[in-house]
Amino acid sequence: MAKVKLITRFFEIEDANLLPIYEANGGYAAARKVVTESWPPDKIFSTVKAANLRGLGGAGFPAGMKWSFVPKDAEGPKYLVVNADESEPGTFKDRHIMLKAPHLLLEGAIIAACSINAEDIYIYVRGEYYQPTQSLERAIEEAEDAGFLGKNIFGSHKNIKVHLHRGAGAYICGEETALLSSLEGFKGWPKLKPPFPAVKGLFSKPTIINNVETLSYVPIVIDKGPEYFAKLGVERNGGARLFGISGHVKKPGVYELSLGTPMRELIFDHAGGVRGDRKLKAVIPGGSSCPVLTADEIDVNLDFDSLAKIGSMLGSGGMIIMDETTDMVKVLLRICRFYAFESCGQCTPCREGTGWMTRIMERVASGEGTSQDLDDLYDVAGMIGGNTICPLGDAASLPVLSFVKKFRAEFEAKVSAAKVPAASGKKSAGEEI
């Protein structure tokens, strides 16, 4: 349980974004092996499955299993889509990979494409990521020139082409079905599943969507062997991942730790503890949609299952640290505004609910709220979660539920000065909100 250097190894090598340096440090050995030895898809799935590599975009779905969902008898093109639409507040790890180790991502994508027999890879990069896009453009060109991408890669009969697609500013497009809609030239509206993208995805063809970091671990899994990778982590949570830590912390940044590392170790040992040596108040463990933890809850190990056990999520690994001076009401208002702005508008509970929650929170934060507002907030949040096509609805409601529950006294203090509503009986959530 500790710091490891698998992906971050390349961050420390100067110019590892360039092909000759990347190759000199063992780069493209895994993809070359898979392609030239003609590994059958089953061998690739089973290797990645044995490594217990989980999807590191947020959901934590086992990567190898996802690939095996593509129907073997499907005819016509299949696609691999790389989700580089990193937009979850508090998350910035993929930016580092694309800037400093773009070839690692390309190599992982080549291997994943081989596992589903895809000849086209689309990388969907968020529009604001200009430098990461340039870094990828250059890497793609280098890999094409070297014969690692394009026709007859590594001298084989395989053809793999990588297409870069720039997003244009919409958080929702990080959700995989919204991303596919966006990639097809539509608004980024999520779709109901089933059909799952593995069966009917991009341009209605079988499609696998993986996060940048997930794919970047694939060459490492093949190089070092699945057993090595699996053993680094804990049961069902193989290997390591990049944790991004920000907020009130002395050394914000990206830290690569084996899964199962204690959260306390990341905050206090690696990231140097709370800024100004203040007391810790709260932690958002994996992007702003994850339920907040109080300072008393941080004795938890950083793996998907341990965080789920205490009612939160490891999410994207983007951790936000808040010290004792933090106004939790203000933070929740900020989060509510974010989801209201980013709701795509397709499902009523999310479109209307995120607006309601924001308006209630504006009232509470300005000292004009009532204790009824807190109950209403809780009600509205409860009515969004689980009632929408995509997880943005849950993402918007989970912070509200957890902030109000865990920091109720702070919210009560904001409303205690305000008048309690005169009306008798409980309002329904829709009234006067």
Partner 1 sequence: MSVSFPDKEKKRVEEIIEHYPQKKAAIGDVLYLAQKQFGHISPEVELYVASLLDLPASYVHQIVTFYTMYLENPVGKHLMLLCNNVSCMLCGAEDMLAKVEKKLGIGPGETTKDNKFTLWTVECLGACEMAPCLMIDDKLYGNLTVEKLDKLLDSVE
Nearer to partner 1, 19 or 98 (CB): 98
Binding to partner 1 by residue 376, rule CB under 8 A?
no
- Applying CB under 8 A, which of residues 47, 52, 83, 91 lies at the interface with partner 1? 91
17 binding partner 1? (CB under 8 A): no
404: its two tokens: 């109000």
Please report the sign of the dihedral spanned by the C-alpha atoms of residue 30, residue 33, residue 38, residue 44: negative
Q: Would you say 19 or 179 has its CB closer to partner 1?
A: 179
Tell me which residue has tokens 């910035």: 92
How many whole angstroms separate alpha carbon 13 and alpha carbon 99? 13
Q: Is 414 in the site for partner 1 (CB under 8 A)?
A: no
- Nearest approach in angstroms of CB 55 to partner 1 is 19
Type of residue at 367: G
Site string for partner 1, 103-142 (x = CB under 8 A): -----------------------xxxxxx-----------
Shortest Cβ 234–partner 1 spacing (Å) = 26
**Binding-site residue total for partner 1 (CB under 8 A)?**
54
Q: Report the residue number, 16 or 97, with the smaller CB distance to partner 1.
A: 97
Does residue number 278 form part of the binding site for partner 1 (CB under 8 A)?
no
Q: Least distance from C-beta 106 to partner 1, angstroms?
A: 17
Kindly tell me which residue out of 100, 200, 248, 414 binds partner 1, with binding defined by CB under 8 A: 248
Cβ atoms 82, 111 nearer than 8 A: no
DSSP states of 322-373 = EETT--HHHHHHHHHHHHHHH--S-SHHHHHHHHHHHHHHHHHHTT---HHH
Bridge partners (DSSP) listed for residue 245: 253, 319
Nearest to 293 by CA among 278, 315, 270: 315
**Other beta carbons less than 10 A from residue 367's beta carbon:** 12
310-369: which residues touch partner 1 (CB under 8 A)? 318, 320, 322, 326, 330-331, 334-335, 338, 341-342, 344
Considering only 47, 55, 86, 240, the residue that binds partner 1 (CB under 8 A) is 86
Question: Is 185 a binder of partner 1 (CB under 8 A)?
Answer: yes
Residues 159-178, interacting with partner 1 (CB under 8 A): 163, 165-171
- Establish if 294 lies at the interface with partner 1 (CB under 8 A): no
Q: Are 122 and 79 in contact (CB under 8 A)?
A: yes
Q: Does 150 bind partner 1 (CB under 8 A)?
A: no
- Whole-angstrom distance, CA of residue 328 vs CA of residue 326: 6
Q: Are 129 and 212 within 8 A, CB to CB?
A: no
> Interface residues for partner 1 in 199-238 (CB under 8 A)?
203
- The residues, any chain, with a CB within 8 Å of residue 3's CB and separated by 6 or more, are 255, 256, 257, 270
H or E stretch including 132? helix 130-145
Query: Per rule CB under 8 A, is residue 195 in the interface with partner 1?
Result: no
Residues near partner 1, by CB under 8 A: 77, 86-92, 94-95, 126-131, 163, 165-171, 182-188, 203, 244-248, 252-254, 284, 288, 318, 320, 322, 326, 330-331, 334-335, 338, 341-342, 344
